Amino acid sequence: MPVQLPGFGEWVAAFLTLAVFSFLYRDNVIYRVAESVFAGISFGYYVGLARINTLQPNLFEPLFGDFSNHWILIFPFVLGVMLYLRYVPKLAWISNWSLAIYIGYYIGVNLTQRLHGEILPQAKGTMLPLAGEPFGQILCNLVVIVGVVTVLVYFFFSSPHRGPLKVTAKLGIYFLMISFGASFGYTVMGRISLLIGRLTFVVNDWARPVVQSVIGS
Amino acid sequence: MKRQVPILLAIAASLYPVIAFFFPARGINTFNQGLDEWMVIIASFALLLGIISMIQVNLAKVRRRAKGWIFSVLTLLAFAVMASFGIFGGQGETVLADGSTRLEPFTWVFQFMYSPLQSTMFSLLAFYVASASYRAFRVRNIEATLLLIGAVIIMIGRIPLGKLVFPFIPEVAEWIMKYPNAAAQRGVIIGAALGAAAMSIRVMVGIERPYLGKS
Amino acid sequence: MKWAQKLLLVDRRIIFLLVFLGALIPILSPIGLIVQVSPPVRAIFDRVERMQAGDAILLSFDYGPSDGPELDPMANAILRHCNKKGIKVLGISLFPLGGVDMAFARMADLTRDLGGQNGIDWVNLGYKDGGQAAMKLMGEDFTAVFPTDADGVPIEEIPLMQGIRNYGDLEMAISLATSVLGEWWINLVNAQFGIDVAVGSTAVSAPKYYAYVEAKQAIGVMGGMKGASEYEELVERAYPDLAGLSRTATVGMDVQSIVHLVIIFFIIFGNIMYVLTQRTRREGI
């Protein structure tokens, strides 16, 4: 079966991948070119993404296509444009009005999210039974309760950590260290996953077909 | 007016979602829904704010002929091309007259340039985490020892080879994740949520004014 | 001991080379290790497995290309599972750096591998700005957030969307997330709208989600490439006719096994060298 050579896109992707990997040896011009192109494409991507996915269907089409039913969209349009007045020194103060509404809204949403969606359910999840369960489960529940309380005590900095507070906070640190160790282990796995993805592409999608077509499969 | 109006607007905008949450009456809900729709649009404008700063910084470098200015030219060129594809073209695939499909230029650049560049940049971290593990991970005290023990158990417990070497280790790793790790993470979540809630209230009553900037 | 000191200061490019070889060799010559399934992943699988044909789920592609190796296999496994069960999938994205294009690619993979039609079996509604604002709005009305799908087709003309107005018409939401988006699905959408939520997260974020799973705020969590390989394993056990399809996460776990051992070796060896150099320093005083 004839080997299918990688397409133009795969060649471009492979070149850019190797250009970035070259940084591991040392900083060089090819890497800097790849880095600069990446920065430019990222910002350009934001522009296209916002236009195609949000501004066009949610603002421009309803506002200019059916103004009588969607005239109210003038307000978010104006508020959005006002944000850019921060780059005009004499009018920068106007952008603060729009920013105040934008930040204020998310502050309000965040408050209910934190109280209703995190503090209460997490506190409820910590109220675990210490009787009426198998002994092993009771021990595990105790680990959770002690862990949560001691970690919270550690983060309480309004009083100096002395005496019983110091011992409790110390235990909290030990729980945190176990958790950070677990996080480190997962972080290592996460970073390696990224490397696996790139190497798999370079080897299986680019290098292998090229080598096979040159030397024969 | 330059200070008082934004403060009043921020207080009103932050109070409304909270009032709508506790009093889900029809009229309040309708305006709340409208506010949500507005925020989706305003967020889109906000997303693009940083682009002007990027253009200003790079143009200044080019004008001054600062060190590495040629790379700024590349950045601006790449931005202009990608933005043009996004403004004047579409996304995904287009079906041609003969039934075949062709990627839109915007999606082509994403798939074959942006995606490999971003993925490879992040994959460099794998090498740096290995280097840091060798040079910086030192077991100097009890805390570091606990961190090391937790890390090694999870790293061995989460790989298929781990069960072959130590048959019980996947269960030990799962127990660590489910109990001591979950407890510590819960403490962090509650602590962070309390701090964030306190900060929100400070903004809602006008003590903190992040929207006013330097003024 | 001078050799211990020299080894501690070895050029880091040698470390890079060892990591590179540790990753390359299993890619060139796969081992084929068996994956063990953990309870949080099984919980998600079981929840989807209990659904009936015609039910609908929301799959949110809240990640970009840099998270692809971990989350793409999860997306593929979930899409294949839903396809076999006849479950409709609403694909959306709330992550600006590439989510919508990851969704395009995964839906294309599904169509290539198992068939399935855009607008009938699955739909890609695209990306939307606003984060929490969009999440709240979807609780009322999807059309307010997504008037069209990612190809510009009005949502009223999409057969899959008939009878789906908001979260109440869905069985669950699965977020494949990097950053805080996964948390928002839990602490906002699940908390305020009551819909079952599961998260497929990058490995870096996975430890945090255990707190949510234990508090019953999330059904389960798939953490990183390991979680993806577990879901692939469960899908293939339940549907052996999918055996010929790619299992990138399972293959990736072979590489993970080797490189993890390399890094554990570095940690232990580095500490041994450190202890030896400290001893030399103390003896020298």
Tell me whether residues A46 and C96 touch, CB distance under 8 A.
yes
Kindly state the percentage of chain B with pLDDT values over 90: 60
What is the value of ipTM here, to two decimals?
A: 0.88
pLDDT in tens, C133-173: 999 999 999 999 999 999 889 999 999 999 999 999 999 99
Task: Assess contact for B210 and B14: CB atoms under 8 A.
Answer: no
Whole-number pLDDT of residue B120: 93
Cβ–Cβ under 8 Å, residues C221 and C213:
yes
Give pLDDT tens digits for C11-51: 888 889 999 999 999 888 888 888 889 999 999 999 999 99
C-beta atoms of C263 and B130 within 8 A: yes
d(CA A139, CA A146): 10
- Residue A153 domain-assigned (yes or no): yes
Q: pLDDT per residue over C41-74, tens digit each?
A: 999 999 999 999 999 999 999 999 999 999 999 9
The β-bridge partners of C176 are: C61, C200
| Residue C77: alpha-carbon gap to chain centroid | 10
- Predicted confidence (pLDDT) at residue C283 exceeds the cutoff of 80: no
Q: Which of A118, A179, A195 sits opposite C23 (nearest CB)?
A: A195
Mean pLDDT of chain A: 91
* B148: contact with C, CB 8 A cutoff: yes
Every domain of chain C and the residues it spans: 2-30+254-284, 39-246
State the fold for domain C39-246. Rossmann fold (3.40.50)
pLDDT at A138 over 80: yes
> What residue numbers bound the domain in which A137 lies?
128-217
Using a CB–CB cutoff of 8 Å, tell me whether C152 touches chain B: yes
CB contact under 8 A, B47 and C69: no
A155 within domain boundaries: yes
What is the pLDDT, as a whole number, of residue B214? 57
Residue A50 has pLDDT above 70, yes or no: yes
Biggest alpha carbon distance in chain A?
Answer: 76
Cβ contact A109–C225 (<8 Å): no
Other Cβ atoms closer than 10 A to A136:
8
CB contact under 8 A, A189 and C256: yes
B149 contact C CB<8A: no
Q: A115 to chain C: which residues are within 8 Å by CB?
A: none
Partner-chain contact C203 A57, CB within 8 Å: no
Cα B14 versus chain centre, distance: 23
pLDDT digits (tens, 9 = 90+) for C70-89: 999 999 999 999 999 999 99
Tell me the mean pLDDT in the region A161-186: 92
Q: Is the pLDDT of residue C1 over 70?
A: no
CB contact under 8 A, B174 and C101: no
Which pLDDT score, from 0 to 100, does residue C284 have? 61
Residue C194: CB atoms within 10 A of its CB come to 11
A37 pLDDT above the threshold of 60: yes
For chain A, what percent of residues have pLDDT higher than 70?
98
pLDDT digits over C204-251, tens only?
A: 999 999 999 999 999 999 999 999 999 999 999 999 988 888 888 988
A28 in a structural domain = no
Region of residue B65 (phi > 0: left; psi between -120 and 50: alpha; otherwise: beta)? left
Report the chain C residue with the minimal C-alpha distance to residue B42. C130
- Which chain A residues contact residue C191 at CB under 8 A? 113, 116-117, 121
Q: Which of residues 57-76 of B touch A (CB under 8 A)?
A: 68, 71-72, 74-76
Q: For chain A, give me the number of helices (H) and strands (E)?
A: 10, 0
Beta-bridge mates of residue B102: B94
Q: At CA B40, angle to CA B37 and CA B44, rounded to 5?
A: 145
**Domain presence at residue A143:** yes
Nearest to A51 among B5, B76, B87 (CB): B87
pLDDT at A217: 53
Q: Is residue A82 part of a domain?
A: no
Mean pLDDT of A98-121: 94
A97 and chain C in contact, CB less than 8 A: no
The answer, yes or no, to whether residue C108 has pLDDT greater than 90, is no
A25–C128 C-beta distance less than 8 A: no
Cβ of residue A39 closer than 8 Å to a chain C Cβ: no
Query: B49: part of which helix (H) or strand (E)?
Result: helix B49-64
CA distance B87 to B79: 12
Q: Identify whether A46 is part of a domain.
A: no
Terminal CA-to-CA distance of chain C, rounded, Å?
A: 14
- Number of cross-chain residue pairs from A and B with Cβ atoms under 8 Å apart: 388
pTM of the entire structure? 0.92
As a whole number of angstroms, the distance between CA C1 and CA A146 comes to 45
Total residue count of chain B as it appears in this document: 215
Any domain includes A94: no
Q: Is the pLDDT of residue A3 over 80?
A: no
Domain contains A51 = no
Asked whether the predicted pLDDT for residue C285 surpasses 60, the reply is no
Task: For residue range B115-140, list pLDDT tens digits in order.
Answer: 999 999 999 998 988 888 888 888 88
Sign of CA dihedral C141, C142, C148, C154: negative
Tell me: the pLDDT tens digits for B138-186?
A: 888 899 999 999 999 999 999 988 888 888 999 999 999 999 999 999 9
Task: Return the pLDDT at C81.
Answer: 96
Interface touch B78/A37, C-beta < 8 Å: yes
Paired strand residues for C88: C56
Question: Does the pLDDT of residue A216 top 80, yes or no?
Answer: no
Task: Check CB contact of C214 with chain A, cutoff 8 Å.
Answer: yes
| Number of domains, chain A | 1
CB of C132 within 8 Å of a chain A CB? The answer is yes
Residue A14: which pLDDT band, with cuts at 50, 70 and 90? very high
Nearest to B21 by CA among A116, C129, A100: A116
A45 lies within 8 A of chain C by CB: yes
Give the minimum alpha-carbon distance from B12 to chain A in angstroms, rounded to a whole number. Answer: 8
Q: Do A55 and B126 touch (CB under 8 A)?
A: no
Kindly state whether B49 is in contact with chain C, defined as any CB-CB distance less than 8 angstroms.
no
CA distance C51 to chain B (A): 27
Distance from CA of B101 to the nearest CA of A (A): 15
Closest CA to A111 of C195, C191, C144: C191
